[in-house]
Amino acid sequence: MMALRNLLKSAKPIHNLARCYSAGAKLVDVKVNDQNGVATVTMQRMPVNSLNYDLLSQLVDAIDDLENNKTRGMILTSASNTVFSAGLDIMEMYKPQEEKCKKFWTTLQDTWLKLYGSSFPTAAAINGHSPAGGCLLSMCCEYRVMVNNFTIGLNETQLGIVAPKWFIASMQNTMSKRDAEIALTSGRLFTTEEALKVGLVDEIASDKEDALAKAEKFFARFAKVNPLARQLTKASLRGEDLQDLLDNKETDVDLFWFSVSQPMVQKSLDKYIEALKKKSGK
């Protein structure tokens, strides 16, 4: 019953976003479990699933396809054994061209809007480290199972950057305001067990197989649930956060471009990349 019109109004624009097609390597693999209709979406941009334009736009395409095919649910996981996702690819921000850089950020926005606002249930099987953008993707899901002995968190302040308002909204939808404040200001990375304690993850798994099995079980909770009623309830719960970004998409892109194009930011990226090169012996 109820609030149908308003909910649909807030739900609609999310799925009307322009689709972003990408060519080249297959960075996202989708497999559907024929028994329960749940799709497993695996990020496979090795070695660490750095979130660049290509990976994100393939994620957007995958979510769109699942929406169109009325999937029963989606599990997000990684092809790596040690990293779920290392977060945003800094090469998208290094010596950036305005148009390319803005397109990248828009695609990250779209990924968040579509995953956080998906009509179908979602779970993350976090089978490796999951800092910054990796943590964001997992928080977009409705349920999180995490393999032991890894770390997760929005550690942006440790990297000298600021998590935008929609990153924060996702964290406050998951943890208490109190825990989110202290985690965000200190840029804390939680171990799997610490993450369970504050509610950043819902279950601990021993390995990837165990994580996938536990994530699959999550969808059984919706066996007797009407999918449309579920979708509208989710839209009612997350609609305000989603609308907030939809209302401010362009400003948010401008701010990203403004920040990234600061000489000071470019200089620190320069140093960071040099350090990485030395570390990897190149």
Active site (catalytic) residues: 88, 133, 155-156
CA distance 74 to 214: 13
Q: What residues between 223 and 282 interact with a second copy by CB under 8 A?
A: 224-226, 228-230, 232-234, 236-237, 251-252, 255-256, 258-260, 265
Residue 184: strand, helix, or coil: helix
Structure tokens at 58: 């393939």
Considering only residues 135, 180, 212, 269, which one is a binding residue for a second copy as defined by CB under 8 A?
Answer: 180
- Note whether 91 binds a second copy by CB under 8 A: no
Residue 122: CB minimum distance to a second copy, A: 11
Near a second copy by CB under 8 A, which window of 3-11, 73-81, 123-131, 206-214?
3-11
Residue 73 in contact with residue 222, Cβ under 8 Å? yes
3-class state of residue 51 by DSSP: strand
Query: Smallest gap, in angstroms, from Cβ of residue 7 to a second copy?
Result: 7
The correct pick among 63, 163, 189, 215 for binding a second copy (CB under 8 A) is: 163
Bridge-based pairing of strands 190-191 and 151-153 is antiparallel
**The dihedral formed by the CA atoms of 79, 202, 115 and 60, expressed in degrees to the nearest 10:** 0
Interface with a second copy, residue 16, by CB under 8 A? no
First to last CA, the chain: 61
Q: Which two tokens stand for residue 143?
A: 């349920």
Query: Binding of a second copy at residue 12 (CB under 8 A)?
Result: no
Min dist. Cβ of residue 79 to a second copy (A): 28
Tell the smallest beta-carbon distance from residue 143 to a second copy (Å): 7
